[in-house]
Structure 1
Amino acid sequence: MTDAPGASRPEQPERPGRAPRTRRPRRERGARESLTSITLVLEAIMFFFPMLVVFGKHTLPPAVAFGGGLAAIVVLALASRLTGTRAGVGFGWLLQAAILATGFIEPFMFVVGLVFLALWVFCFVKGGQLDRQNAARRAAVGD
């Protein structure tokens, strides 16, 4: 049985002895954190295709091609959540080098790795500039 639109639902009883639940405010993310995180997610999505190429060309055994590809996808996706810390950004730089190194398995990955490295550097630099501009703007408004 479903509720009809506009029908009122019974009020939830207050839980005795407990304060009502409130959501924590979201942590404000800077431009650098957001942009580098997006780059890592794009790399994770992209890594599906080289995995298929390596499998299709029989460069590696199927278990290694799919296992390594899926592992790289998971690591890149998880690393995108860490870009708010210095260690996370450092890990992101390390992952850029690892993606470039996959060019030794499939040579076209040197080109793809360079494109994503350029995107990573751009997002890192431009994000830092935007964060500094936003901090200066907030400081000026606060005065």
Structure 2
Amino acid sequence: MTYETAAWILLMLGLVVVLLTRLRLGRSESGAQTVGPGILNLHTVNGLAAFAVSLVYQLAGHDRPVGALAVGLWIVEAVLGLMILLRWLPVHGRHATRLGSDGWTDGPWLSIVAHVGMAIGVGLLAWWFVAGLV
């Protein structure tokens, strides 16, 4: 598999993570503590922008400044996703509420796989970009 093919696969998986996060957390019945609409909207808009800039980079001749912008947006996206993932950390205290179960995965596992995988994928894309492989 070439680096170009792997980059396309990672871009598509990144888009899936962004859209599933939006669909899953946009509903009021998610099992974890709610995520504020601000960070969710920022995650969605930044993720779609990162995907769009990445498409321009891949399809329009690999212009280095466009690629650097795409990598930067994906890094911000990975950080935002990990911040959203923090909602699963247990809270201890007198007024803390117990987390309910999640309909999709019975816990945070889908979110962990998606967002840690996104962070690893972004790291690979950044490394390949800096090395001139994509």
**Which TM-score applies when normalising by structure 1?**
0.48
Q: What is the 5 A alignment of 1:90-101?
A: 90-101=72-83
2:15 aligned partner: 41
Distance in 2 (alpha carbons) for counterparts of 1:80 and 1:95: 10
Q: Percent identity?
A: 7
Q: Is the 8 A contact 2:17 2:114 kept in 1?
A: no
User: Once the 2 structures are TM-superposed, how far is the Cα of residue 129 of structure 1 from its aligned partner?
Assistant: 7.0
The answer to which structure, 1 or 2, has the higher relative contact order (CA under 8 A, 6+ apart) is 2
Is residue 2:118 matched to residue 1:116? yes
1:56 aligned partner: 30
Distance in 1 (alpha carbons) for counterparts of 2:30 and 2:122: 29
Q: Is the 8 A contact 1:101 1:110 kept in 2?
A: no
Larger gyration radius, structure 1 or structure 2: 1
* 1:96-128 deviation line (CA, Å, top 9, x unaligned): 111111122234344432122122333444577
Secondary structure at the aligned position of 1:113 is classed as helix
Distance in 2 (alpha carbons) for counterparts of 1:42 and 1:129: 26
Q: Is the 8 A contact 1:39 1:120 kept in 2?
A: no
Structure 2 gap ranges (5+): 58-65, 90-107
Q: Is the 8 A contact 2:33 2:87 kept in 1?
A: yes
Distance 1:42 1:129, change over 3 A: farther
Secondary structure at the aligned position of 2:70 is classed as helix
RMSD over equivalenced CA pairs, Å: 3.7
**Which TM-score applies when normalising by structure 2?**
0.51
Q: Is the 8 A contact 1:48 1:69 kept in 2?
A: yes
1:24 aligned partner: none
Which letter maps to 2:43?
Answer: A
* Aligned length, in residue pairs: 100
